[in-house]
Amino acid sequence: MLKDTEAAEANALMEDDNPPRAQTLEEVLHGIDAAVAELDFLAQEEERAASLEQGPEPRPMPVDRRLDETASARPPETAPRVAPCPEQLRIRPEPARLGEPDKPAIRRPEARETEPLSEAPVGKPMPGAARKGVPPVIEANRGPLHDKSPSTGGNPPPRPPGKGRFHKRTPMPDFAESFRNGIKAVRHNLAVVMAFTVVINILVLAIPVYLFQISDRVLTSRSIDTLVMLTVVVVGAIVLQSMIDAIRRFILMRTAVEVEAQLGAPILSAAARASLNGTGREYQVLGDLQQIRSFIVSGTLLSFLDAPIAPLFVLAVFLVHPHLGYIVVCASVILMLIAFINQRLTAGHFADSNSFLSRATSHLDSMSRNAQIINALAMIPEAVRIWGRDTALSLRSQVMAQDRNIIMASISKATRMLTQVAMLGWGSYLAIHGDLTGGMVIAASIIAARALTPIEGAIEGWNSFTQFRSSFHRIRLLLQTSPFNFERLLLPEPRGQLDVERLLFVPPPNKKVILNGISFSLQPGESLAIIGNSGAGKTTLGKMLVGSILPTSGSVRLDLMDLRNWDQRQFGENIGYLPQDVQLFPGTIKANIARMREDADDAEIFAAAVLADVHQLIATFPQGYETVVAGDGSPLSGGQKQRIALARAFFGSPKLVVLDEPNSNLDTNGENALAKAILHARQQGITVVTITQRPALLKAVDKVLVLDNGMVGMFGSRDEVMAALAKPRSPGDGKQGNIQQDNVSKGKRP
């Protein structure tokens, strides 16, 4: 080590003998920085200089990038301690450069030339910093924005209010655009099918031409070669026609599948949203999609596609003889008149049949949901009678419509056959007078039949066409008017402030006022209990708070924004809801708590279970969180279902949770767990609204709202409202008494 020290001193003396060169501005600035750092270093070491000089020579060892780590890495009796600067400090020695002369260095006193130096993070080079005995340059760290990017200039982006984290948009398809894309795909495929249809109808003429040639050429010339050649050509035309017809049907089948694949998910999503303001029949639009799929692959559509080619066959008959062409035109007009009459006679009955069938299907769904009640109360005969009544009415209307349709179809078939008789008879008459040949008469008769067949097929399949048309209109109306078509602005995550302003709800068609002038406000983290008599509108108000139903007038605002203006996905991920009628989805408990999301994090599921205080309950099951739940909730009891649904409401750290009768099926332990969950939610800053009839939960809330016939009877802090309710009412106080005074006011915060 002494040799190394002497060698270093010799090198230093040799460097001092070299004449200095001119310094650049950058070197001068770095030298100033090094001098300032040296003064700071000497000031910090002034008190310990004497003891360090008398101690043993320090051992060279690496210095970490942080000076505080450097001090801890050295032996305490030998390593000098350097107090870090208030900001995070960093050492920037200059690495050795190849091909450059040594730069002048700022040297420390001789007594400290032997102190070891080590490498530090590569920063901006500093002259002389790599030499032994020269202190490192210490630079204050400027934090995470030390490296400024040219685009931002090192300034952080502006942060929104609240938590400042924006919601990540989940791609939602534009349902109107999906409908247009589906129609576009159908039109493109139908254009291809129509081209094949034209080719097929042209090839159909091969048989009439074959008969005409045999009658007028082969039989008269008795030429076997002509017969063979004609037969080969016709066979080829028939084979080609069959192949093209098969391709046409393949395209239609795949078109039907593509329509259902493209529109299935948008229709179900739009129906789920539209059912909020409806009766749930919107889900039956999926049946309309099946009806469209059936029509596309049916023979009725092929008849409609063949109909535009019919005038070409009529023209061909005119070319044979005008008289025969007039017969075909008259028959076509008669058939179209029959089709119009058929539509007028059957449309009403078919509509009634579909309506009664829809009612029977709805009743069947109700029976499946209430199978336990039906069996327990022996209501099977009554339920079957109600279903049978609607089904019978549907079948009756169906029979009446089909009777008329069959009659019209028979008339159209008879008309077509009589047309062929007229064609053959009048053609024979013309052949007797020498205007036509026998082959031309037969060919004209076959072509006329081909011209009238599409009209007859359209009459027979008119029922399926009317159903297709009705289904198409319902699907178009559902998709084009869906609120999902209007993209909402993504807002910062809500804090949980809830404002209800003058809610009025008058559901159609009875026009009875359910809620009238409801107004109140909750700050983030506050909890509210809504109480009142049965039929006061508590459940309806709870549904409005989560956007399940929309008010007739007034607004519900979350963080000052109306619920209708929130992005639906973002809003749903930031609220929790426990309905009065608890329903779980078929699947595991884990999936139900995670709201059936496949990308849910296990930590979030566990946190929701702990927050709802149901983890111990789930732990008692043999399979734990992997316990499979059926559609009716088995094997869980009513209280267990309610507690699992409570954990589902708290999943994802919502900012607003609405609980509708959360303790209706709970025992004492369950109510205690529910009270703990509400307290946990308050600690988490979650705004909780609880609809209850039991006083046990009132101890866990901050405020109480009393509903009386759809109006706010009282609203205020829990203690004030409970004290007002405990006061005896005088006869002259009326319905609401004198309890709407001071801080307990109607629709105002205390």
Q: Are 341 and 429 in the same domain? A: yes
Give the separation between CA 719 and CA 531, rounded to whole angstroms: 14
Rounded Cα distance between 498 and 563, Å, is 10
pLDDT of residue 145: 34
Q: Is the same domain home to 476 and 504?
A: no
CA-based nearest residue to 390, from 357, 436, 342, 437: 357
Model pLDDT, residue 242: 92
| Tokens standing for residue 640 | 């267990």
In 205-321, which ranges are continuous DSSP H helix? 206-213, 219-221, 224-274, 285-296, 299-306, 310-320
Same domain as 249, residue 227: yes
Domain identity same for 645 and 658: no
Phi and psi dihedrals of 76, rounded to 5?
A: -65, -25
592 and 641, same domain (yes or no): yes
Distance CA 577, CA 579 (A): 6
- CA neighbours within 13 Å on the CB side: how many for 576? 29
Domain count of the fold of the chain: 5
Give pLDDT tens digits for 119-150: 334 334 444 433 434 444 333 333 333 333 34
524: in domain: yes
Three-state DSSP state, 140: strand
Question: Does a structural domain hold residue 10?
Answer: no
CATH number at residue 393: 1.20.1560.10
Domain co-membership, 325 together with 385? yes
User: CATH number for the domain including 563?
Assistant: 3.40.50.300
70 plus 121 within the same structural domain: yes
Buried b / exposed e over 225-236, threshold 16 CB at 10 Å, is eebeebeeebee
How much is the pTM? Answer: 0.58
Residues 344, 445, single domain; the answer is yes
Written as six digits, the tokens of 687 are: 């705004």
Which residues is 91 bridged to in the sheet? Answer: 138
CA–CA separation, 365 and 683 (whole Å)? 43
- Tell me, yes or no, whether 132 lies in a domain: yes
Residues 288, 269 within the same domain? yes
Whether 169 maps to a domain, the answer reads no
**Measured distance CA(693)–CA(536) in Å, rounded:** 12
208 with 277, same domain: the answer is yes
Q: Which residues pair with 492 in a beta bridge?
A: 166
| CA pair distance 224, 207, nearest whole angstrom | 18
* 152 within a domain of the structure (yes/no): no
Report which residue type is found at 358.
S
In-domain check, residue 310: no
Alpha helices in 46-174 (DSSP H): 49-54, 67-73
Phi, psi (5° rounding) for residue 257?
-65, -40
Q: Could you tell me the mean pLDDT of each successive run of 10 residues in the chain, 750 residues long?
A: 48 47 59 69 62 48 42 42 41 41 42 40 40 39 37 40 44 69 85 91 87 81 86 92 92 89 81 66 77 87 87 88 90 87 86 86 80 82 88 91 88 88 89 85 86 82 82 84 67 87 84 87 90 86 86 89 82 87 88 88 88 87 89 81 88 89 80 82 87 80 88 88 76 44 41
Distance CA 484, CA 272 (A): 11
563 and 692 inside one domain:
yes
Distance CA 187, CA 443 (A): 34
Using CA atoms, how far apart are residues 672 and 686, in angstroms rounded to an integer?
A: 19
Closest residue by Cα to residue 470 from 259, 289, 263: 289
Boundaries of domain holding 322: 315-460
Cis peptide bond upstream of 60, omega within 30: no
Give the model confidence (pLDDT) of 352-397 as tens digits: 888 888 888 888 878 877 777 888 888 888 888 888 899 999 999 9
Q: Please give the DSSP secondary-structure letter assigned to residue 460.
A: H
Residue 304 included in any domain: no
> Do 676 and 733 have their domain in common?
yes
What DSSP string describes 6-73?
Answer: HHHHHHHHHHHHSPPPPPPHHHHHHHHHHHHHHHHHHHHHTTTHHHHHHSPPPPP----SSHHHHHHH
Interacting residues of 387 by C-beta distance below 8 A, sequence separation 6+: 360, 363, 364, 367
Instruction: Give the containing element (helix H, strand E) for 672.
Output: helix 668-683
Residue 11 within a domain: no
